Copies of this chain bind each other. A is one copy, B any other.
C-alpha cells in the first residue's frame, strides 16, 4: 500500500500538468462523423501514441478503413492479471456552435465560487477526459514504481461517435492481441457526485420490423369499408395484445430466461438516492408505465421490454384520405436481460404475430440487430475488488447499477473476445456531453485518476 500512497500523492502533485496534457488533446477537433476532420482524428491518435510511448508503452496507430485505432501494451508483474482499457478519442460535432460560451476546442478551466472547477471543451467528458484519467494513473505508477501493477493493454477507438464501423473487423483481426482477463471501459457516469458506480448489467436489444399486407392495393374506404381487411387494425390489435393489463409481455416464453436480481442488490437499489418522480417528471411523465409491482430502476435495469419504436400505415399527410391501406408497418424492439436469447425472443415474437394473423393477411419480418444482455456475475472477484477500490476513494460506497441501454463495444468484447467488462466512469449527468458547453468536473478528472490507481493496484494484488 506504500506504493499506492505514493502513486496517489504523485497524482495530487501533478494535477495541473495532467490538465495541460488533457488540454492539448482537447485542442484537436477529432470529430469522427465529419469527413472534413479526418486528418484531425489521425492527429489525436498520433498524440496519444506519442504520450503512451513517453510513459513506456509499446504504442502504435493502427489503420482501419475509417479512423485509426490506438493500441498500446505494457507488461506487468509475472502472473498478474491482464486488463484491457477501452476509451475513444473521437468527439461529437459542436453544433450549434453559437451556443458555446467559449470555443469548443479551446479548453478552459472555469472556477466556481465554492472552489470547485470544471474543464470546458468538446470531448472533456466524452471521452477524452475520462480516457486520460487512466493514462495519468499509469503515468504516476511508472514514475513512482517504475512499472504497472498489472499487465495493461490500452485500446482507443476513433469512431465511437460515428457508429464504430471498423470495430468488429478490427476485434476479429486482432483477437489474440486484444484479449485480456477483463476490460475496463471508461465511458459512463457516476451515480451522483459522491457515489461511484459500476455498471454490471446492460440490457440487450432485438429489433424487428413487421410489415403486414392485406389487399393487393390501397382501397377506397367507401366502396370496401366494412368488407375489406384493414392491416392497420390487424397490426394495432396484435401490438395491443403484446402486453397485459399489468404491463407484462404476453409473448409465450418471453420471461423464460429472466432471473431476479439478488435481494441484497435490489435492496441497495432501494437505498439509492433515486426519485422516480423526477426521473419521469423531467420528461413530462409521472406514472411508471411498465410492469406493475416493479420499481422504475427494476423496470429500466433488470426487466425486459417490448417497445414499438415506430408505426406507419395508410395516409399520414395533411388533411384526410379515406383509404384502406394495403399494408402497415411497425418497428418493434425488445430490451433483453440476463440470459434471454435474441434469436429465441425474435422467433417467439414472430410466432406471436403469425398466430394472430387473419387468413387474408401476409406478414414480412426484417431483423434489425440482436444482442444479448450483459450481466456480470454479482459475485465476480474482480468486480468486488473494483467496488472496494472505488469505495475507498469516494465519499460514498460504490454501487452496482444496471443500464437500460446498450453499449455495443461491451457486447462485442464479450462475443468476439470472450471478455467481461467493468464499466467504470466518472461523468456526471449534467456534463452536457453531445451538447454545447460540455464540461468535465475537475473532481472527476482528479479522483478519476486516483480511482484507477486504486483499481489497478487492487487487481494487481492478484
**Distance from A288 Cβ to chain B, minimum over Cβ atoms (Å):** 5
Q: For A315, what are the chain B residues with a Cβ–Cβ distance below 8 Å?
A: 309-310, 331
Question: Is B335 a contact partner of A283 (Cβ separation < 8 A)?
Answer: no
Q: Which of A97-105, A232-240, A252-260 contacts B (4 or more CB under 8 A)?
A: A232-240
A358 at the interface (CB under 8 A from B): yes
A171 at the interface (CB under 8 A from B): no
Question: Is B236 a contact partner of A287 (Cβ separation < 8 A)?
Answer: no
Q: Which of A127-135, A144-152, A202-210, A261-269 contacts B (4 or more CB under 8 A)?
A: A202-210
Q: Which residue of B lies closest to A320 (CB)?
A: B368
Q: Which of A17-25, A214-222, A386-394 contacts B (4 or more CB under 8 A)?
A: A214-222
CB within 8 A of A316: which of B207, B300, B312?
B312
Q: Which residues of A68-123 have CB atoms within 8 Å of chain B's CB atoms?
A: none
Question: Is B321 a contact partner of A309 (Cβ separation < 8 A)?
Answer: yes
**Distance from A216 Cβ to chain B, minimum over Cβ atoms (Å):** 3
Q: For A314, what are the chain B residues with a Cβ–Cβ distance below 8 Å?
A: 308-311, 331
Q: For A406, what are the chain B residues with a Cβ–Cβ distance below 8 Å?
A: 222
Question: Is B289 a contact partner of A360 (Cβ separation < 8 A)?
Answer: yes
Question: Is A230 a contact partner of B289 (Cβ separation < 8 A)?
Answer: yes
**Distance from A218 Cβ to chain B, minimum over Cβ atoms (Å):** 9
CA gap between A300 and B227 in the complex, in Å = 6
Q: Which residues of A183-232 have CB atoms within 8 Å of chain B's CB atoms?
A: 203, 205, 207, 209, 214-217, 219-230, 232
Q: For A214, what are the chain B residues with a Cβ–Cβ distance below 8 Å?
A: 284-285
Q: Mark A317-338, 1 if CB is under 8 A from B, else 0.
A: 0011111110011110101000
A460 at the interface (CB under 8 A from B): no
A37 at the interface (CB under 8 A from B): no
Question: Is B226 a contact partner of A335 (Cβ separation < 8 A)?
Answer: yes
Q: Which residue of B lies closest to A313 (CB)?
A: B311
Question: Is A331 a contact partner of B320 (Cβ separation < 8 A)?
Answer: yes
Question: Is B237 a contact partner of A296 (Cβ separation < 8 A)?
Answer: no
CA gap between A296 and B226 in the complex, in Å = 8
**Distance from A249 Cβ to chain B, minimum over Cβ atoms (Å):** 10
Question: Is B229 a contact partner of A240 (Cβ separation < 8 A)?
Answer: no
Q: For A325, what are the chain B residues with a Cβ–Cβ distance below 8 Å?
A: 309-310
Question: Is B280 a contact partner of A230 (Cβ separation < 8 A)?
Answer: no
A403 at the interface (CB under 8 A from B): yes
A166 at the interface (CB under 8 A from B): no
Q: Which residues of A327-371 have CB atoms within 8 Å of chain B's CB atoms?
A: 328-331, 333, 335, 358-360, 368-369
Question: Is B240 a contact partner of A307 (Cβ separation < 8 A)?
Answer: no
Q: For A243, what are the chain B residues with a Cβ–Cβ distance below 8 Å?
A: 233
Question: Is B225 a contact partner of A308 (Cβ separation < 8 A)?
Answer: no
A299 at the interface (CB under 8 A from B): yes
Q: Which residue of B lies closest to A290 (CB)?
A: B226
Q: For A305, what are the chain B residues with a Cβ–Cβ distance below 8 Å?
A: 221, 225-226
A279 at the interface (CB under 8 A from B): yes
**Distance from A11 Cβ to chain B, minimum over Cβ atoms (Å):** 33
Question: Is A404 a contact partner of B224 (Cβ separation < 8 A)?
Answer: yes
Question: Is A217 a contact partner of B404 (Cβ separation < 8 A)?
Answer: no
- Can you give 10 contacting A-B residue pairs, CB < 8 Å? A203-B222, A215-B285, A220-B405, A224-B283, A224-B404, A227-B289, A289-B360, A309-B322, A311-B312, A312-B316
- What 10 A-B pairs are tightest by C-beta distance, nearest first? A222-B405, A216-B284, A310-B314, A226-B299, A240-B240, A320-B368, A229-B289, A226-B290, A237-B240, A312-B316
Binding site for B on A (CB under 8 A): 203, 205, 207, 209, 214-217, 219-230, 232-233, 235-237, 239-241, 243, 276, 279-280, 283-291, 296, 299-300, 303-305, 307-316, 319-325, 328-331, 333, 335, 358-360, 368-369, 403-406
Q: A205-B222, A217-B283 are in contact. List 20 more A-B contacts (CB 8 A).
A: A209-B320, A215-B283, A215-B285, A219-B283, A221-B305, A221-B307, A221-B309, A223-B404, A224-B283, A226-B304, A227-B299, A227-B300, A228-B283, A232-B239, A232-B310, A287-B360, A307-B324, A310-B323, A316-B331, A322-B333
